[in-house]
Amino acid sequence: MTLVPGRQAWRPESIVGDRVVLRRHRSENLTAFTRWYSDPEVARLTRYQVGPLSAEEIQRFFHGRIMGADFMAMAIHVRDTDRLVGTCAFSQLDGDNGSTLFHITIGERDAWGQGYGSEATGLMVAHAFTRLALHRVALTVFEFNPRAIRAYEKCGFTVEGRARDAIFRDGRFWDELHMSIIAEDWEARQKQG
């Protein structure tokens, strides 16, 4: 049995929230990707490797994954200004078991801590459970990124495990947290308002 509906639902043109609009990426977004993933702090928070991606790696990542058919990648725009501030995606869609992995990067540093990531995450989770009829959305996050952990918890994700001492940063080892939210928990949160 396959739980996931057709490709139209899988890759919508846009998902509109109160403060952000998620839109399919366009080729011109590569310029922003290049800036974001060349930033050492973005790399520190999102990559196992030390240091940012090279221009060639960013191009391969953007064209192969973000613009590819195997990711549901959406550009995060501020609704009032249409400014592109980040990206989010589902990958490893498993229709037989109703699960996917979630990824998000707010690439513009001055947009950090503004709630854009939390709202984008909430919109993607709602899309997963209402339009895609998935059962589980999972993600991983490094222990040294408490801002992201709080945002995920605010959206209903819970820590379900950890890879101990998985990454060496800032002179020490840190855990990689595995978090998820399942449809029943999300539905209960919606009823509570």
Q: What is the pLDDT of residue 9?
A: 61
In a domain, 45, yes or no: yes
Number of domains in the chain: 1
What are the pLDDT digits (tens) for 92-148? Answer: 988 899 999 999 999 999 999 999 999 999 999 999 999 999 999 999 999 999 999
Domain that holds residue 82: 7-192
137 is a domain residue: yes
> Which one, of 75, 93, 103, lies nearest residue 12 by Cα?
75
Q: Is residue 55 part of a domain?
A: yes
83-104 residue pLDDT tens: 999 999 999 988 899 999 999 9
* Residue 158 within any structural domain of the chain: yes
What local confidence, expressed as pLDDT, does residue 4 receive? 46
CATH number of the domain where residue 164 is located: 3.40.630.30
In a domain, 106, yes or no: yes
Question: What pTM, to 2 d.p., does this model score?
Answer: 0.92
Q: Is the pLDDT of residue 190 over 60?
A: yes
In a domain, 2, yes or no: no
Asked if residue 6 has pLDDT above 60, the reply is: no
Asked, for residue 149, whether it belongs to a domain, the answer is yes
- What is the C-alpha to C-alpha distance for residues 130 and 134, in angstroms, rounded to an integer? 8
